[in-house]
Amino acid sequence: MNVLLVSIDSLRRDFLGAYRDRPRPLDYDVATPNLDRFAGRATVFDTHYAGSLFCMPTRREWLAGVQEFPWRGWGPIEPFDVTVPRAARTTGTFTRLVTDHYHYFQHGAAGYYEDYNAFEFVRGHEFDAWQASPRAPDERLLAQAAATSADGVGFVDRAQYARNVAGFDEEDETDFFAPQVFSDAAAFVASADWDDWFCYVDSFDVHQPFHCPEPYASMYTDEDPRDPDLSFWPRWGRVDGGQGAITERELAFARSQFAGKVTMVDRWFGTLLDALDDRGLWDETAVVVTSDHGYSLGDHGHVGKVHMPMYDVLARTPLLVHHPAGDGGRVTDLTAAVDLHPTLLDLLDARSAGDHPHGRSLLPFLTPGDGSGGAAATGGDDDAAPHRRWALYGEWGSGACVTDGRYTYLHPCDPAEPALAHSTEMLNPRGVFHPRTPEPDAEAGRFLPYADAPVWRFEGEAVRRHPDPLLFDVEADPGQREDVAAERPAVASRMRDLLGEALAELDAPKSFADRLGVTARAD
Partner 1 sequence: MEYCVANVAGDAREGVVALPTETRAYPCLERCGTCRDTPFLVVDGAVVTAGSHRTLCERIGGEVA
Quote the least distance from Cβ 402 to partner 1, whole Å.
20
Q: Quick one: 38 or 396, whose CB is closer to partner 1? A: 396
Give the Å distances, CA to CA, from 91 to 88, 324, 470.
6, 20, 46
Which residues are near partner 1 by CB under 8 A? 148, 152, 154-157, 235-238, 241-245, 306-307, 395, 397-398, 415, 428, 430-431, 433-434, 461-464
Q: How far apart are CA 358 and CA 380, in angstroms?
A: 17
Q: Quick one: 244 or 326, whose CB is closer to partner 1? A: 244
Angle between helices 340-347 and 56-64 (to 10 degrees): 40
470 HSE (CA, 13 A, CB side): 23
Quote the least distance from Cβ 57 to partner 1, whole Å.
12
Quote the least distance from Cβ 478 to partner 1, whole Å.
27
Q: How far apart are CA 519 and CA 523, in angstroms?
A: 12
Q: What is the identity of the amino acid at 329?
A: G
434 HSE (CA, 13 A, CB side): 9
Quote the least distance from Cβ 152 to partner 1, whole Å.
6
Q: What is the DSSP letter of 194?
A: S
Quote the least distance from Cβ 299 to partner 1, whole Å.
18
Query: Could you tell me the sign of the dihedral formed by the alpha carbons of 243, 74, 313, 393, in that order?
Result: negative
What count of other Cβ atoms lies within 10 Å of the Cβ of residue 468? 11
Quote the least distance from Cβ 491 to partner 1, whole Å.
29
Q: Quick one: 279 or 307, whose CB is closer to partner 1? A: 307
**Does residue 294 contact residue 305 with C-beta atoms inside 8 Å?**
yes
| DSSP bridge partners of 336 | 49
Q: Quick one: 185 or 308, whose CB is closer to partner 1? A: 308
Q: Quick one: 287 or 421, whose CB is closer to partner 1? A: 421
Quote the least distance from Cβ 245 to partner 1, whole Å.
5
Quote the least distance from Cβ 73 to partner 1, whole Å.
9
Q: Within 145-195, where are the H helices?
A: 158-164, 177-191
Q: Quick one: 152 or 228, whose CB is closer to partner 1? A: 152
CA angle, 353 as apex, 188 and 457 as ends, to 5°?
105
Q: Quick one: 145 or 492, whose CB is closer to partner 1? A: 145
| Dmax (CA) of the chain | 66
Q: Quick one: 235 or 510, whose CB is closer to partner 1? A: 235
